[in-house]
Amino acid sequence: MTDLVSVIVVSRENHEADLLAVGSFEGEAPDIAGFDEASRRAVERLGARAGWRGKEEQAAQTEAGPDGPVVSLYGLGAAKDFTYAKLSRWICRLAEEGRVGGARRLAVVLPAHTETAGRAAAERVLRTLALSSYRFDRYQKEAEKAGRLAALAVVPPRGEEAVYQAGLAVAEPVARAVAFSRDLGNTPANVASPAWMEEQARELAASRGLRVTVLDAAELERRGMGGLLAVGSGSAVPPRMIRLEVGSTGPEISLVGKGVTFDTGGISIKPANDMDDMKYDKCGACAVLAVAQAVADLELPVRLRAYTPFAENMLSSRAYRPSDIVRCYNGKTVEIVNTDAEGRMILADALAWAAEEKPEAMVELSTLTGSCMAALGLHAAGLFSPDDDLAGELTAAAAEGGERLWRLPLFPEFLEEMKGPHADLKNAGGRWGGASTAAAFLSQFVGDVRRWAHLDIAGVANVKTEGPSHGATGFGVALTVNWLRRLGGSLD
């Protein structure tokens, strides 16, 4: 999997960089106390240039001297408007400019701000720094010739050095997990079949000492997991259901992730436009596998069970059809209205299996609906839960991790719209409220588990614009790990 840049925390007196990047807010002088004289003077020269205001996107560069680093001064805009999203974009910009410019060791000088102070902020920043050089370029012939940063140093705001140093122990394993999730999500469907995903899960289990169970098509048939079998019926590669276990003490938690390795829509075929993005329809499952890795690496005191159903939704003479009636693992029948509403079908079996094992709480992540994207755009995931406490815990964990959740409703009327004319349920509702009707459908497979949540990550699972960050994001890994840390008592 992708190697990440090494991140270190350094002092102002000992940055030893060949590129020193300093952030400055509009109308404020950068804090350069403690730096060597050549670097201080270089920053002062840049700040004294005509037109320099520290406005967002402003940048200026100079040499610190014959033996000193190249110094770049970056405007960050008004401090009152500064957010983690802006900080993240700035860090990624620095990493790309450093790489293109041939820098080997980049040092980032963080300004004092609420977004850079304290434990949660330090962990967010360090994770972002580690991931700033991430590239999915294994299929590019010229990738090996491209420059790469050898190390990335961060100079914390004064007084925050110890917090940042301690934050590395958490930020680095979480960054590796996010990169693992991105790698899985970015891998194309001609490679990342359900069988290949099984191989990755087995390798993860072997490397971290996890317990793994894999249900093949024959076992799925024996257990009556008709939802997953139906979705996978049109593909030459049979579906898989994978269950990972990690931990032996602490609260029992189940995670479920949607793993459609490619989604044509089936007989209800999707339009050709943007169908290439359908390799990202497995990103919920990729995030769940990555969380299992992080829990093992961090040795969190939780008993985690991770369930990832994998199928390829294809067209063939064997594919499931509109009007088919499918029986899922918990016995409920579903009338197929739209074969492109396939994610909820594979999740039905996974959720029912997870619920049968009676966890204390259950969280599911899926790229489930375009309706959620219509509601929230590309900036937040939808959160559905009947439990106010769990919804609050997840929202807080997301904020700590620099991710966004927005709670959407689960009114009883949404479930009424999912009742089937000839079966217990139908797999698609009407035009309106599609994200909520999908969540209502899933609610019928959680059994007696009262603390459950569905995260619809369709809008945030991958970056849809071209550029260095294009592709899978690993959304959900950081927030879920933070939630598990607090449940297990690792956070106050």
Summarised one tens digit per residue, pLDDT across range 212-256 is: 999 999 999 999 999 999 999 999 999 999 999 999 999 999 999
CATH code for the structural domain at 6-167: 3.40.220.10
| Burial (CB count <10 Å: 0-12, 13-18, 19+), residue 355 | buried
160-199 per-position pLDDT tens digit: 999 999 999 999 999 999 999 999 999 999 999 999 999 9
Can 451 be counted among the known catalytic residues?
no
Q: Which residues, 6 or more positions from 209, have their beta carbon under 8 angstroms from its beta carbon? A: 296
> Residue 162 and residue 378: Cα distance in Å, rounded?
35
Q: Which residues pair with 362 in a beta bridge?
A: 254, 452
pLDDT of residue 141: 74
At the fourth CATH level, the homologous superfamily of domain 187-487 is Zn peptidases (3.40.630.10)
Q: Please confirm, yes or no, whether 45 is among the known catalytic residues.
A: no
In sequence order, the 6+-apart residues with CB closer than 8 A to the CB of 165 are: 9
pLDDT at 2: 81
- Residue 467's pLDDT is 67
Exposure of 151 by Cβ count < 10 A (0-12 exposed, 13-18 middle, 19+ buried)?
middle
Q: Please state at what angle helix 119-131 crosses helix 84-100, rounded to 10 degrees.
A: 30
Query: What's phi and psi for 107, nearest 5 deg?
Result: -115, 130
Enumerate residue ranges in the chain where pLDDT < 50: none
Q: Which of 99, 344, 451, 485 is catalytic?
A: 344
Residue boundaries of the structural domains of the chain: 6-167, 187-487
Question: Is the full-model pTM beyond 0.85?
Answer: yes
The rounded distance, in Å, linking the Cα atoms of 320 and 326 is 9
**For position 143, what pLDDT does the model report?**
59
Looking at residue 150, its pLDDT comes to 81
What pLDDT was estimated at residue 145?
52
Catalytic residue among 270, 327, 407, 486: 270
